[in-house]
Chain A
Amino acid sequence: MRGILFAFLGGACITLQGVANARISQDIGTWQAATITQLTGFIMALAIALMVRDGKKHGFRKSKPLYLTGGAFAAFVIFSEVTAIQNIGVTLTISALLIAQLCLTFVIDVRGWFGVAKQKMKLPQFIGIGMMILGVVVLKF
Chain B
Amino acid sequence: MLAGILLALIAGALVSLQNIFNAKVNEHTGSWTTTTLVLGMGFAASLLMGLIMEGKNMFTLQHMQPWYWLSGMIGVGVVICLVQATRILGATYAISIVLTSQLGFALLWDSLGWLGLAKVPFSFNQLIGVLIIVGGILVFKLGGARESRA
Binding site for B on A (CB under 8 A): 2-4, 6-17, 19-24, 26-29, 31-46, 48-49, 52, 54-56, 59-60, 62-64, 66-81, 83-102, 104-106, 108-109, 114-117, 119, 122-125, 127-141
How near does chain A come to B137, taking the closest CB pair, in angstroms?
A: 7
- Provide the residues of chain A in CB contact with B141, threshold 8 Å: 128
Determine if B78 and A13 form an interchain contact, defined as CB atoms under 8 angstroms apart. Answer: yes
**Max chain B Cβ within 10 angstroms of own Cβ: one of A36, A45, A48:** A45
Determine if B78 and A14 form an interchain contact, defined as CB atoms under 8 angstroms apart. Answer: yes
**Alpha-carbon distance A122/B21, docked complex (angstroms):** 25
How near does chain B come to A131, taking the closest CB pair, in angstroms?
A: 3
Binding site for A on B (CB under 8 A): 1, 3-5, 7-22, 24-25, 27-33, 35-50, 53-54, 57-58, 61-65, 68-82, 84-85, 87-89, 93-95, 97-107, 109-110, 114-118, 120, 125-126, 128-144, 146-147, 149-150
Measured CB to CB, the nearest residue on chain B to A59 is: B29
**Alpha-carbon distance A68/B31, docked complex (angstroms):** 13
- Provide the residues of chain A in CB contact with B120, threshold 8 Å: 89-91
Determine if A135 and B129 form an interchain contact, defined as CB atoms under 8 angstroms apart. Answer: yes
Determine if A80 and B14 form an interchain contact, defined as CB atoms under 8 angstroms apart. Answer: yes
Determine if B1 and A87 form an interchain contact, defined as CB atoms under 8 angstroms apart. Answer: yes
